[in-house]
Amino acid sequence: MSMLFSANAQWVLLSTLILGMASGMIGCLAYWKRQSLMSDALSHAALPGVVIGFALIGSKNLPVMIAGAAVSALLGALLIQWIRTSSRIKEDTAMGMILSVFFGLGIMLLTIVNRTAGGNQSGLDSFIFGQAASMVRKDVTIMLFLAAVVILVVCIAFKEWKLFLFDPEFARGLGLNNRLMNSVYLAVLVLVIVIGIQAVGVILMAALLIIPSVSARYWTHSFKWMVILSAIFGGGAGMTGTLISTMGVGWPTGPFIVVASSALFVISIVFGSEKGLLIKALQLRAQKRQHVYAVMERSSAERGGGMG
């Protein structure tokens, strides 16, 4: 716990908070584009790029590895799109293929690099499950900056995102450039994935994109509030998970972040004010009771009428 009080730890906490917020917001876009699984495929697809980025420089250099991850994830996205449009294979199958092939390739490269001199101390393994504590001040600064860019992109074009996600054909008729919107969407999705993989890891990064947005869905009927709540849930889960992972030496961050956001999801699905299980059950019970009373009243009135 003592690391809580170090300046570095505070920076790391801040970075997972902002990362969680950014991915919560992007998660809402992915949710309404029906592409939650896409984020999972792309985060797995980032791994080979991370390893190649490391191998090229020969040491851990975050900007290079982030660039490698971005190239690799974008390549994965392009391949998914290519498979979908040029063959009979459906998108979910294409995503499954790319996810496993890229991840397999990444692990293979990782094993090779780890055997080389210096490779085994590189901390490359932490990119699989995430190790927020391994981030240095410079990494945190880069992450904060990129996450802020992502958040800004969602905020300044908020009305355009809403239109684009709800009715892209109508948007096109109004003159919105859907191709540009798609490209920006893919860019911010990849950006949030690549800045998140050091803290959360390639395997679990998708959870931070998917879970906060579905949790937020249980609390609101407004897109604006869904995005805000998703950001709060994502940020909260990011911070909580990081805090817990600092309690033990070498504990990975990713799994704790996922557990924290899953806890929020369970709370949301049970207690959520919109379509939450509890609200639904209470409403059903109230309706049943009303129905029974109505039937009783009617039958007693009929009996009364018959006797009179």
Among positions 38, 60, 154, 217, the unique one binding another protein when judged by CB under 8 A: 217
Mapping DSSP to helix (H, G, I), strand (E, B) and coil, where does residue 274 land?
coil
Among positions 157, 228, 263, 279, the unique one binding another protein when judged by CB under 8 A: 157
For residue 33, how many other CB atoms are within 10 A of its CB?
Answer: 16
Among positions 101, 114, 160, 182, the unique one binding another protein when judged by CB under 8 A: 160
- Determine, following the binding rule CB under 8 A, whether residue 283 of this chain makes contact with another protein: no
Quickly list DSSP for 90-145.
-HHHHHHHHHHHHHHHHHHHHHHHHHSTTGGGS-TTHHHH--GGG--HHHHHHHHH
Q: With respect to another protein, which residue has the nearer C-beta, 44 or 217?
A: 217
**Radius of gyration for the alpha carbons in the chain, expressed in angstroms and rounded:** 24
- Determine, following the binding rule CB under 8 A, whether residue 165 of this chain makes contact with another protein: yes
Mapping DSSP to helix (H, G, I), strand (E, B) and coil, where does residue 176 land?
coil
d(CA 279, CA 295): 24
Contact 30, 154 (CB under 8 A): no
- Determine, following the binding rule CB under 8 A, whether residue 228 of this chain makes contact with another protein: no
- Determine, following the binding rule CB under 8 A, whether residue 176 of this chain makes contact with another protein: yes
- Determine, following the binding rule CB under 8 A, whether residue 221 of this chain makes contact with another protein: yes
Type of residue found at 306 = G
36-58 per-residue burial string, b: 16 or more CB within 10 A, e: under 16: bbbbbbbbbbbbbbbbbbbbeee
**Minimum CB separation from another protein for residue 195, in Å?**
24
For another protein, which stretch binds (CB under 8 A), given 131-139, 195-203, 223-231, 238-246? 223-231
- Determine, following the binding rule CB under 8 A, whether residue 156 of this chain makes contact with another protein: yes
Q: With respect to another protein, which residue has the nearer C-beta, 97 or 157?
A: 157
**Minimum CB separation from another protein for residue 171, in Å?**
8
Type of residue found at 260 = A
- Determine, following the binding rule CB under 8 A, whether residue 226 of this chain makes contact with another protein: yes
**Minimum CB separation from another protein for residue 10, in Å?**
35
Which residues are near another protein by CB under 8 A? Answer: 32, 156-157, 159-160, 162-163, 165-167, 169-170, 172-176, 217, 220-223, 225-226
